[in-house]
Amino acid sequence: MTKIGMICGVDEAGRGPWAGPVTAGAVILDPAQPIDGLTDSKKLTEARREALYPEIKAKALTFGIGWASPDEIDRLNIREATFLAMTRAIAIMGIIPDKVLVDGNSLPRALPCPASAIVKGDLTEPAISAASILAKVARDREMQGLANQYPGYGFRQHKGYGTAAHSSALRELGPCKCHRMTFAPVRRALEAAA
C-alpha cells in the first residue's frame, strides 16, 4: 500500500435496522476536485444522494465500501460489526491515509493510522459526509435486492428499519435469513413462531 498525506473520512449506515447488513464508507477526497452539496446523508433526499454517489466515486482520490453481515452483527454485536465494516472499507481503498476521521464518539481498534472520532462529523467534515453518502446509497441498494429476494417484508420501503409495517410482516412471516436475530423485535418474532 502507498502512504500519502491525506485525510480519510469514515461513516456507517444501518446500525439501527432489524434486517440487512451494516455498511461503512471510507473516502479520501481530492482537493483538486471539490464536490458541492456534501452533508450528512440523512439530510439529503434520496434523489440527491443517488446523484452524489457516482460523483463522489468519480472525483475521490480513493474510496472503499465495507460490510458486516447480519450473521456477523449477531455474533459480534452491532458496535463491533460496525467497526468491522469500517476497517474493511478502509482496507479496500488500497491507500493508508495519514489520519482517519470517524463520525461518532468511538473508534475501531485496528486502524492502520492515527484516528479521531468526531460527533456529527458528517455535518462538518466533507470526507465524512462523502463516506456517509456512499454507505447510505450502497446499503439502500442492497436492501432493494433483499426486497426482491425476500418479498413480503417491505424492505424496499423501510430498508429494514423498525416500522409498523415491518413489525406486522415479522409477526405474519417470521424472520428471514437477512434479519438480525439478536435484535429484540426479531428475537420476539422468532420465539413467537417457535
Rounded distance between C-alpha atoms, residue 116 and residue 101, angstroms? 5
Dihedral sign computed on CA atoms, order 111, 117, 118, 121:
positive
Rounded distance between C-alpha atoms, residue 26 and residue 128, angstroms? 8
The answer to whether the annotation marks 122 as part of a ligand binding site is: no
Rounded distance between C-alpha atoms, residue 88 and residue 67, angstroms? 7
Ramachandran sector of residue 111 (left: φ over 0; alpha: ψ -120 to 50; beta: rest):
beta
**Do residues 82 and 72 make contact, with C-beta atoms less than 8 angstroms apart?**
no
The answer to whether the annotation marks 12 as part of a ligand binding site is: yes
Give the three-class secondary structure for 35: coil
Rounded distance between C-alpha atoms, residue 112 and residue 66, angstroms? 15
Rounded distance between C-alpha atoms, residue 83 and residue 87, angstroms? 6
Report the DSSP pairing between strands 7-13 and 99-103: parallel
The answer to whether the annotation marks 11 as part of a ligand binding site is: yes
Q: SS3 helix, strand, coil % of the chain, rounded to 5?
A: 45, 20, 35
Give the three-class secondary structure for 177: coil
User: Binding site membership: which residues?
Assistant: 11-12, 103
Task: Pick out the residues of the known binding site for a divalent metal cation.
Answer: 11-12, 103
